[in-house]
Chains A and B, each alone.
Chain A
């Protein structure tokens, strides 16, 4: 079974500071990994994803993440935080079932709430 652990349910940074949100996964097969963001009273918006190829993935709004197989990690970073980045962030792994796919299923971490102080 696959699982995702997000270290830190709350992260607080100052505007302009580095944002680092941690995600570790467990998977017996090469994973597909995703980061989503959720603003209050809204659904989930995809920030970026890793499937194959380059391990450093760039996403929207200046975010990027690096897939490190040896560390089973997929941490999300942004060099300079903006007030508009305040939201909840979810790391997810695409399910793998019989036949190599698990249709439509993502397994999510518990989420990290990012607070940005002026």
Chain B
């Protein structure tokens, strides 16, 4: 069965622009999470969605937002991009998001802000 699919894989944006990243979870998974990975801060949790509702949120500014559609696909948006937003953004899915369930990751979207 297909894994977590993220698009686009690579993108370059200019400071001040906005970006939207897309994620299709594993079939049957209803929980989708997003993570930011940078060399300095490591892997940090952004937010989690289940049944189109945000259930959990990390410590990121309001410029970072997300949504989930009825088919469980998710998007995240970063507005007013800053150089520090350059990172690998990872989407992950799990069946219901409960602690202990295996979380499966996509290959990520590499965002470079110039």
Contacts and interface: CB of A to CB of B under 8 A. Distances in A.
Interface stretch (A12-20, A64-72, A73-81, A106-114): A106-114
B63 interface: no
A118 interface: no
A103 B48 contact: yes
A100 B99 CA distance: 8
Given A94-B99, A94-B100, A105 B107 contact: no
Contacts of B48: 103-105
A45 B98 CA distance: 19
B100 A51 contact: yes
Interface string A76-112: 0000000000000010101111001111111111110
Pick from B31, B90, B99, B104 the residue with the most CB of A within 10 Å: B99
B33 interface: yes
B102 A90 contact: no
Contacts of B4: 43
Interface stretch (B12-20, B50-58, B78-86): B50-58
Interface of A is mostly: loop
Contacts of A36: 105
Nearest to B98: A101
B100 A104 contact: no
Nearest to B102: A46
Interface of B: 4, 31-33, 35, 42-43, 45, 48, 50, 55-56, 58, 90, 92, 94, 97-100, 102-108
Interface of A: 32, 34, 36, 41-46, 49, 51, 90, 92, 94-97, 100-111
Given A44-B90, A104-B32, A106-B35, 14 more contacts: A41-B107, A43-B90, A43-B108, A49-B102, A100-B99, A103-B31, A104-B92, A104-B94, A105-B33, A105-B45, A105-B56, A108-B43, A109-B42, A111-B43
